[in-house]
Amino acid sequence: MTAAVALSPHSDSVPANGADCAPVLRERGQREVFCGLTGIIWLHRKVQDAFFLVVGSRTCAHLLQSAAGVMVFAEPRFGTAIIEERDLAGMADCNEELDRVVDRLLTRRPDIKMLFLVGSCPSEVIKLDLSRAAQRLSGKHSPNVRILNYSGSGIETTFTEGEDACLAALVPELPALPADAPQELMIVGALPDVVEDQFVRIFRELGIKTVRSLPARKSADLPPVGANTRFLLAQPFLGETARCLEDRGAVRLDAMFPFGAEGTANWLHAAAMAFGIDEAEFQRVIAPGKARAIRAIEHCRAQLSGKTIFFMPDSQLEVPLARFLSQELGMTPVEVGTPYLHRRHLAQDLALLPATTVISEGQDVDKQLDRVRAARPDITVCGLGLANPLEAEGLTTKWAIELVFSPIHGFDQAGDLAELFARPLRRRDVLKV
Amino acid sequence: MQLTVWTYEGPPHVGAMRIATAMEGVHYVLHAPQGDTYADLLFTMIERRNKRPPVTYTTFQARDLGTDTAELFQSAARDAYARYQPQAMLVGASCTAELIQDDPAGLAEAMRLPIPVVALELPSYQRKENWGAAETFYQLVRAIADKEVRPSPREGRRPRVNLLGPTALGFRHRDDIIEITRLLDSMGIDIHLVAPLGACPADIKQIGAADFNILLYPEIGDTTARWLEKTFGQKTVRTIPIGHGATRDFVNEVAALAGVDPACALDRSNMPWWSRSVDSTYLTAKRVFIFGDASHAIAAARVARDELGFEVVGLGCYNREFARELREAAKLYGIEPLITDDYLEVEDAIAALQPELVLGTQMERHIAKRLRIPCAVISAPVHVQDFPARYSPQMGFEGANVLFDTWVHPLVMGLEEHLLTMFREDFEFSDSAGASHLGHGHAAPAQNHDADVQAVDESTLQPVAEPEVMAARGWSAEAEKELLKIPFFVRGKARRNTERYATEQGLATITLDTLYDAKARYAR
């Protein structure tokens, strides 16, 4: 993990009010969070010819099934190679077993072009070397199938960090961008296709012709990377991926994350500046989208303005979402919990949080619930293991996972994003039972 | 290693969670890595519980390994005891903690907590959820039950029984208990204890005071029932009261043990008359495939054949612990038992048998949807809609009513569609309208599956398969067109029968006559 560095924000829109360098409450104890395997649920929808094979226990398979709900039945492109007693007792050679499973899988699914061997807690603890297995199997199955490895284990990754680990494993595979190539823009982070298309359209209109995405929708379309790559993080949980891209010479464009009118404008602006787009031209291009976003957000303002919100840690989206809700909707974040705080990437969003906001990193769930009960916020953002129990105590909740699975980035989703928070409050008010 | 997409059961520690969550005053300290808390949402979401499961996870991470995981376990157990003040504690390891070989039993013992602490040995790489639940319940009862307790003399009191086996996340357990409690009350019998659901350790201590035990869910309570027989001499009622006939047998068995008159059991069941009424005639000999946990599958088979007049063409279960019972049952119907936890095998069996109704789990619901076969759910694992708000037991006389409605409903829908297909030439009706109980726009079956399965898509008369495929199999264009006039939900069977007939007769071409000769040959 990179050391967290407090930087002064580059934002010149609003004076910093201190949350970016406020002390962080760090806690250890029981954490009520998903492991990185859960990232497979949306990653496999994004990369259309990839298969994710978890090497783990029945618990891992059960988690995926519980998280994937009914998707399990659409011939999904993920599965689990369940480690059995024989594998542990050395009666079966784990690597031979893995080869057998992979062969069977690839025979069954000839449409697969990229296979991820995903490490889990059990496979990490027994020190099964999946990176070597991936190399060995790649040799066997190339050129048809590229086989890679990353770990989504709970002991190493929290929820969305699974995507970070997956994309970081892809970075060494990216073709090299020639040193004399013109500057290119890369959007990093899996976005819903509709959102990605919106962003690409805006960049084109700004005059940025070559815009790539990591991950791409097809494994054959890996974006090239080099010293002339400028990249924007679309998601706040991609620390390792960013580091790997920087190792290959790419340059990160510092920005807020693209939530709401302000966040999206700031994010687009970072790219416009890097590509020398004229300021007036920039304002002209984004004006209609920004106006639409402001109009759409307005619908929820009465509902949300002045209300308090408490984020329990889940996905690392908490800081930028709290920024959006406080800056653009007038909400008051009481505590913003995050499983991991990347200060450098979040500097601009942190700078805009009210000085009174407590930032907490990590979790001791029982102590944090005590704080929720003491604060009695209007909305508590939390996981599904906590939502109904808190509702039963008379607190209104918004379940956090939806924020990862729904299109929420960009101008044209700003209204939907605000609505996700307004709806539980509206429901609380309309029910007469 | 076993390649798995869907698993019928979770790991054994989820079974232990089902026991802890079912009970009051019990707390489970689970040595587990970050992320294993996902299981909480099975209880809070699928079962809609309004409290967190009483489970503390130690939540170790990579940086803890090899150093202080043992210390982490002890501090988690200490904090849990201080905060929740349970009457008893369960301690154990999840699959990952099993590998790092901390010893929860020894670590907990060293803490000398002033309550019973039950250490669980749940081998995650051999066993599964139901076994974990059964083992946990057994260990808990063994540790807590006061072996000196015996029933008070029978003079001047009603007989008292224990109901064993209902848990959290159990399929219809909530309402089964209500139904069976009412039924027993109508016979003049009291419930001494329901366990694990709703019981606390203090109740378990007195388990020996009941006259006998009723084992409602063998998957969960069998080990415990055997131990109680041995320890307290309590007899066990083993008939599972699912269906009208089984409920009557259950009443007789209970009455004999309690020394009461079975005639006082109130039979308020509509099922026998509903099943005898002429509207049900079309149910006769409908071919049904049954899969689930062994107890529910075996009970459903009896109801299907004896009470609805179906023909049981497939019977299976996913829990090997009860394979013997299931094999015995399959003999009654003269069919091959299917014992597997691989849903692809189940799917193949259903595709091969082409039943007219599937009774199964959430998984079979999806398989049946894909194969366009009517389906009803009879067993866990189930999804949120099978933890209903309304009263809907499976057991007892009201349970029999529920079964009749639930199983016949998708078939009535099938009949409605049949009428639609008769009017297919009518411009307002077409195959593409889809099946009403399947919703619209459901996915066509994946191509890499049994190609016998035909999705109906946008065209009214859509080919049964690629024309060249049909031709290669010997179908004349005329016969293929005729095949399309057969309602989609029996078309697959008609085609298989015709092709089998053509092969038997050594015919190279399937003509119109072949189709109808085969129909006559396989007519019921």
CA-nearest residue to A392 within chain B is B50
Q: With an 8 Å Cβ cutoff, are A101 and B1 in contact?
A: yes
Secondary structure tally for chain A: helices H, strands E = 17, 14
d(CA A13, CA B394): 64
Within its chain, how far is the Cα of B189 from the centroid? 28
- Considering only the beta carbons, identify the residue of B44, B369, B448 that sits closest to A389: B44
Average pLDDT, rounded, for chain B: 89
Determine the distance in angstroms separating the CA of A363 from the nearest CA of chain B, rounded to an integer: 10
Q: With an 8 Å Cβ cutoff, are A78 and B5 in contact?
A: yes
Q: With an 8 Å Cβ cutoff, are A30 and B38 in contact?
A: no
Give A108-124 pLDDT, tens digit per residue: 899 999 999 999 999 99
Determine the distance in angstroms separating the CA of A253 from the nearest CA of chain B, rounded to an integer: 31
CA-nearest residue to A370 within chain B is B83
Q: What is the 3-state secondary structure (H, E, C) of B201-228?
A: HHHHHCHHHCCEEEECCHHHHHHHHHHH
Give Dmax over CA atoms of chain B in angstroms: 83
At A285, list the tokens.
């291009």
Best of A55, A62, A107 to substitute, by most chain B Cβ atoms within 10 angstroms, is A62
State percent of chain A over pLDDT 90. 86
| Choice among B79, B146, B279, B457 that is catalytic | B279
Give B445-474 pLDDT, tens digit per residue: 333 333 333 333 333 344 556 667 788 888
Give Dmax over CA atoms of chain A in angstroms: 70
CA-nearest residue to B442 within chain A is A74
Catalytic, B79? Answer: no
CA-nearest residue to A37 within chain B is B35
Residue B308: per-residue pLDDT: 97
Is the CB of B65 inside 8 Å of chain A's CB atoms?
yes
Q: With an 8 Å Cβ cutoff, are A61 and B7 in contact?
A: yes
CA-nearest residue to A73 within chain B is B366
CA-nearest residue to A160 within chain B is B35
**Residues of chain B with C-beta less than 8 angstroms from the C-beta of A124:** 62
Residue A395 has pLDDT above 50, yes or no: yes
d(CA A64, CA A162): 13
Give B370-401 pLDDT, tens digit per residue: 888 999 999 999 999 999 999 999 999 999 99
List the 168-227 stretch of B: residues with Cβ below 8 A of A.
Answer: none
Nearest CA-CA partner of A272 in A216, A323, A180, A205: A205
Query: Helical H runs in A234-278?
Result: 239-247, 260-274
Average pLDDT score over residue span A215-225: 95
Q: With an 8 Å Cβ cutoff, are A388 and B126 in contact?
A: no
Q: State the helix-helix crossing angle for A239-247 and A161-170, rounded to 10 degrees.
A: 20
Within its chain, how far is the Cα of B452 from the centroid? 28
Give A162-217 pLDDT, tens digit per residue: 999 999 999 999 999 999 999 999 999 999 999 999 999 999 999 999 999 999 99
Residue A72: per-residue pLDDT: 66
Residue B436 has pLDDT above 50, yes or no: no
- Considering only the beta carbons, identify the residue of B51, B52, B126 that sits closest to A85: B126
Q: With an 8 Å Cβ cutoff, are B11 and A122 in contact?
A: no
Within its chain, how far is the Cα of A72 from the centroid? 22
**Residues of chain A with C-beta less than 8 angstroms from the C-beta of B56:** 30
List the 345-364 stretch of B: residues with Cβ below 8 A of A.
Answer: 363
Check the CA dihedral A341-A342-A346-A350 and report its sign: positive
State percent of chain B over pLDDT 70. 89
CA-nearest residue to B64 within chain A is A155
d(CA B300, CA B307): 10
Average pLDDT score over residue span B196-211: 98
The band of A271, judged by pLDDT with boundaries at 50, 70 and 90, is: very high
Could you please report the per-residue DSSP string of A143-199? TT-EEEEEE--TTT-BTTHHHHHHHHHHGGGSPBPPTTSPPEEEEES---HHHHHHH
Best of A155, A361, A364, A401 to substitute, by most chain B Cβ atoms within 10 angstroms, is A155
Average pLDDT, rounded, for chain A: 92
* Integer CA distances (angstroms), B450 to A103, A142, B345, B399, B484, in order: 21, 29, 12, 36, 19
- Considering only the beta carbons, identify the residue of A29, A38, A65 that sits closest to B6: A65
Determine the distance in angstroms separating the CA of B479 from the nearest CA of chain A, rounded to an integer: 33
* Integer CA distances (angstroms), B421 to A362, A396, B242, B296, B426, in order: 60, 49, 36, 34, 9
At B36, list the tokens.
């294993």
Q: With an 8 Å Cβ cutoff, are B36 and A70 in contact?
A: no
d(CA A378, CA A19): 21
Cβ–Cβ < 8 Å for B151, B209: yes
Average pLDDT score over residue span B214-234: 98
Phi, psi of A27 (to 5 degrees): -130, 150
- A147 phi-psi bin (left φ>0, alpha ψ -120 to 50, beta other): beta
Residue B69: per-residue pLDDT: 85
Check the CA dihedral B82-B85-B87-B91 and report its sign: negative
The band of B70, judged by pLDDT with boundaries at 50, 70 and 90, is: confident
- B354 phi-psi bin (left φ>0, alpha ψ -120 to 50, beta other): left
- Strands B375-377 and B357-360: what pairing? parallel
Nearest CA-CA partner of B518 in B488, B492, B495, B487: B495
Is the CB of B162 inside 8 Å of chain A's CB atoms?
no
List the 354-413 stretch of B: residues with Cβ below 8 A of A.
Answer: 363, 366-367, 369-370, 383
Q: With an 8 Å Cβ cutoff, are B99 and A62 in contact?
A: no
Residue B439 has pLDDT above 50, yes or no: no
For residues A11 and A305, which has the higher predicted lDDT (pLDDT)?
A305
In three-state secondary structure terms, A23 is: coil
- Considering only the beta carbons, identify the residue of B45, B125, B363 that sits closest to A85: B125
Instruction: Enter the DSSP assignment of B447.
Output: T
- Considering only the beta carbons, identify the residue of B34, B50, B448 that sits closest to A158: B34
Best of B71, B85, B125, B129 to substitute, by most chain A Cβ atoms within 10 angstroms, is B125
Determine the distance in angstroms separating the CA of A432 from the nearest CA of chain B, rounded to an integer: 18
In three-state secondary structure terms, B195 is: strand
- Considering only the beta carbons, identify the residue of A84, A108, A156 that sits closest to B448: A108
Best of B14, B41, B65 to substitute, by most chain A Cβ atoms within 10 angstroms, is B41
Q: With an 8 Å Cβ cutoff, are B52 and A126 in contact?
A: no
Determine the distance in angstroms separating the CA of B221 from the nearest CA of chain A, rounded to an integer: 23
pTM for this predicted structure? 0.89
Is the CB of B41 inside 8 Å of chain A's CB atoms?
yes
Average pLDDT score over residue span B153-161: 94
d(CA B485, CA A403): 48
Neighbours of A409 (CB within 10 A): 27
The band of A15, judged by pLDDT with boundaries at 50, 70 and 90, is: very low
Size of interface A-B (CB pairs under 8 A): 189
State percent of chain B over pLDDT 90. 74
Is the CB of B94 inside 8 Å of chain A's CB atoms?
yes
Could you please report the per-residue DSSP string of B218-278? HHHHHHHHHHHHHHH--EEE----BSHHHHHHHHHHHHHHHT--GGGS-----HHHHHHSG
Cβ–Cβ < 8 Å for B361, B347: no
**Residues of chain B with C-beta less than 8 angstroms from the C-beta of A74:** 443
Q: With an 8 Å Cβ cutoff, are A34 and B99 in contact?
A: no
Neighbours of A109 (CB within 10 A): 16
Average pLDDT score over residue span A85-98: 86
Is the CB of B37 inside 8 Å of chain A's CB atoms?
yes
Residue B185: per-residue pLDDT: 97
